[in-house]
Structure 1
Amino acid sequence: MSALDVKALSIFIKSSVTQDMIHKLVVATLQVLPCEQDTKVATITGANGKVRSLPSLMTFLTKLVRYTNVYAGTLMATLVYLNRLKNRLPKNAQGLPCTRHRILLSCLILSSKFHNDCSPKNIHWAKYTDGLFSVQDINLMERQLSFLLNWDLKVTNEQMVDQLDSFLQPIKEDLINSAKVRKFLQKQQLQQKQKLQQQQQQQQQQHLHASPSITRSSSNSSTLSLHYRNPSTSSNESFSDSSPEIMPVSQKVYHSQGMAPTLVQNQIDPVIEMTALKEEQGLSQMIQQLTAVRR
């Protein structure tokens, strides 16, 4: 049994009881053993001694589910008991018209008592049958089923997964699809992050190439240099190395800190603006792709 089966089973047992679950239990009960078939409507003597018509298994189980508000896990665990009972009964076993009702009810009672800390008492189960069975009947059928099952009431996850494959398959498909969507989103986020890092690196390189470098050059050097001249000197005369340089206050701060001067602009950098627009477009495309996948 895989981890996917366990997760799907944990989701299933917390779900609400559906009509498909009740139908599957009725079919499994009909396959336990053959019963006598009357040409007329089957009858049974109720707890009050009056003869009553025997309801169908579907109606009988639907009322029990409504009265008890049983959990899906507790209800569907009876499938394991029904299959276990079928394998233990003799091949030539045959029951009365009400035998299947007794089997289904006793399996549900044992499952409820074994898997829940708080379970209805037999006197309550007798009321849930609308007087079809008395408390003495329920006590007897509970002891008989426990004896036939050899008091083995344990239900494993493997047995539940084997019996509930048709119900677990859609849940597993949803889990797989959800995992694919998460993986796709993570991949998109990683690509966006890598793309943003590349853009930032390109911006840094462009910024370094665009920044002017301040160097001192001799009279014979052809390298472009920036000089700040003293107004008292002639326009063609540059300061010597020993002459103090006159710098703006902002450039003196950069010079004292060993940093290259940069131009301060009040306008928004067009490269940063373009990066923000591309990021917004990427997020919009990712949301559209996620919406299309969920549909």
Structure 2
Amino acid sequence: MDVEFVGGMQEFLEDRIIYSIARVLDEIVRETDIIESPQQTVFHTNKKPSISLAKYLERIQMYSYCSNECFILALIYIDRIQEKNQDVVINSFCVHRFMLACIILSIKYNDDDYYKNDYYARVGGITITELNKLEEELLIMLDYELYVSQKQYYFYKDKLMRYAEL
């Protein structure tokens, strides 16, 4: 196979990472929306956001200037939340806020440059007070464990890349 083609395909699939993440989370949300959430968290809202998750992630990517790695780390954090907090159901009433907070934490942990929370709050469409509370609660839910091994990161990335091919 042509090396240039393979490289171009790899780049194309990496550009599709956020859409793969949105599709994965949309599938999860479809299943969890039928379950009554036993615990309401600070992440839950009274009504579902009108913006699709894919468009929301596009917006965050456009204005945060973060790396694709941050989106993959955010998905790993979402999985960790589900593992550590069995009673928390991530559904369409909270998935946007969970992703916003997870992406921000991954940016702060992974990227060299990042903005202040008031900027990210505007990007996410929430107040600075709400964002600070989400970030604090997320750190507690994750037991402050933000480190992701290289092996785990590439496992998720490979799965997302394969999912992007579909």
Q: Which has the higher helix share?
A: 2
Inter-partner Cα distance in structure 1 for 2:75 and 2:108: 15
Q: 1:53 to 1:115 in 2, by over 3 A?
A: closer
Q: 1:153 to 1:98 in 2, by over 3 A?
A: same
Partner of 2:151: 158
The answer to whether residue 103 in structure 2 is matched with residue 108 in structure 1 is yes
Partner of 2:73: 77
The answer to whether residue 142 in structure 2 is matched with residue 149 in structure 1 is yes
Shift of 1:17: 5.4
**Deviation readout 1:183-226 (Å, 9 max, x if unpaired):** xxxxxxxxxxxxxxxxxxxxxxxxxxxxxxxxxxxxxxxxxxxx
Q: Which amino acid counterpart does residue 93 of structure 1 have in structure 2?
A: V
Judge conservation of contact 1:84–1:149 (CA < 8 Å) in 2: yes
Aligned partner (choices 124, 128, 136) of residue 135 of structure 1 = 128
Q: Which runs of 5+ in 1 are unaligned?
A: 1-11, 38-43, 46-50, 170-295
TM-score, normalized by length of structure 2?
Answer: 0.71
Q: Which amino acid counterpart does residue 107 of structure 2 have in structure 1?
A: S
Judge conservation of contact 1:34–1:94 (CA < 8 Å) in 2: yes
Shift of 1:95: 5.4
Of structures 1 and 2, the one with the larger relative CO (CA 8 A, separation 6+) is 2
Q: Which amino acid counterpart does residue 99 of structure 1 have in structure 2?
A: C
Identity between Structure 1 and Structure 2 (%): 20
TM-score, normalized by length of structure 1?
Answer: 0.42
Q: Which runs of 5+ in 2 are unaligned?
A: 1-9, 36-44
Partner of 1:121: 116
> 1:232-247 maps to which residues of 2 (within 5 A)?
none
Inter-partner Cα distance in structure 2 for 1:65 and 1:93: 26
Judge conservation of contact 2:49–2:93 (CA < 8 Å) in 1: no
Partner of 2:93: 98
Inter-partner Cα distance in structure 2 for 1:29 and 1:143: 22
Judge conservation of contact 1:75–1:108 (CA < 8 Å) in 2: yes
Q: 1:59 to 1:80 in 2, by over 3 A?
A: same
CA RMSD of aligned residues (A): 3.1
Over alpha carbons, which structure has the higher Rg? 1
Partner of 1:277: none
> 1:1-295 maps to which residues of 2 (within 5 A)?
18=15, 20-30=16-26, 31=28, 34-35=32-33, 54-90=50-86, 92-94=87-89, 97-129=92-124, 132-166=125-159
Q: Which amino acid counterpart does residue 123 of structure 2 have in structure 1?
A: Y
Shift of 1:58: 1.1
Judge conservation of contact 1:123–1:135 (CA < 8 Å) in 2: yes
**Deviation readout 1:113-142 (Å, 9 max, x if unpaired):** 00123211110001112xx31111111111
**Deviation readout 1:46-90 (Å, 9 max, x if unpaired):** xxxxx9953111111111111112212222222221221121121
Inter-partner Cα distance in structure 1 for 2:66 and 2:94: 22
Q: 1:72 to 1:97 in 2, by over 3 A?
A: closer
